Amino acid sequence: MTLAAIILAAGASRRFGTDEKLKAQINGRTVLDAAIAATEGLDQRIVVTRAQTPAPDGVRVIVNPDADAGMGWSLALGVASLDLCDGVFVVLGDMPLIPQEVYRQLADHLTGSDIVVPTHKGRDGHPVLFAAACFDDLRALSGDTGARGLITGGRYRVLRLEVGTEAIVQDIDTKDDLTALINPSKRPV
């Protein structure tokens, strides 16, 4: 099975207060580099950004010329850029702590499903794995709705898989979120 990852990194970071969110440091690397590193070993890796950015070897960067149009448009651009593959992980660039094991767990369950959604204590998270059967609908996305409609619409066979790590629901929207990831004792109760 050939699998790809689309790392979405074209957001404006308005709630963070600066467009430097993905360049912030966590565990000795940038937030974006940490998210990309977790996808190492996949057959294709694409980062969709709002401006040209350096990327590790083996990672393609796609610039979204209309990044303010929303996440759906970024995801559609990423899927349109894929070479032939069996499935694609949709990864958020501001989720730097997802372990590689989560990718393996989801991939192990793609056969028999069209979409595999990781969960933690009943909460859906990322990365979400979409089989190639979903690609036409993913390429048709626009706006800021993302792929939630594909998951909830009833057209596809969706498997929700408990993966045992809170990292799948820990994104960085604000500077406080970053502080809480770096130092969990500062996490709000």
pLDDT digits (tens, 9 = 90+) for 164-185: 999 999 887 666 766 777 776 6
The pLDDT of residue 13: 53
> What is the predicted pLDDT for the residue at 145?
76
pLDDT for 168 equals 96
Query: pTM here?
Result: 0.90
Side chain identity, residue 120: H
pLDDT tens digits along 103-159: 999 999 999 999 999 999 999 999 999 999 999 999 999 887 789 999 999 999 999
Query: What gap in Å lies between CA 120 and CA 65, rounded to an integer?
Result: 34
Distance CA 91, CA 110 (A): 16
Cis peptide before 54 (omega within 30 of 0): no
What beta strand segments (E) does the chain contain?
3-9, 25-26, 29-30, 44-49, 60-63, 87-92, 115-120, 123-124, 128-131, 158-162
Q: Is residue 75 within 8 Å of residue 11, measured between CB atoms? A: no
Position 14 pLDDT exceeds 70: no
Under the banding of pLDDT at 50, 70 and 90, the label for residue 186 is low
* Confidence (pLDDT) at 52: 81
Rounded-to-integer distance, Cα 13 and Cα 89, Å: 22
The predicted structure's pLDDT at residue 31? 84
Q: Where are the beta strands (DSSP E) in 77-121?
A: 87-92, 115-120
- Can you give the residue range of the structural domain that contains 37? 3-186
Confidence of residue 51 (pLDDT cuts 50, 70, 90): confident
- Could you read off the pLDDT of 15-33 as tens digits, one per residue? 555 567 677 778 888 889 9
> What CATH number did the domain enclosing 130 receive?
3.90.550.10
| Structural domain count of the chain | 1
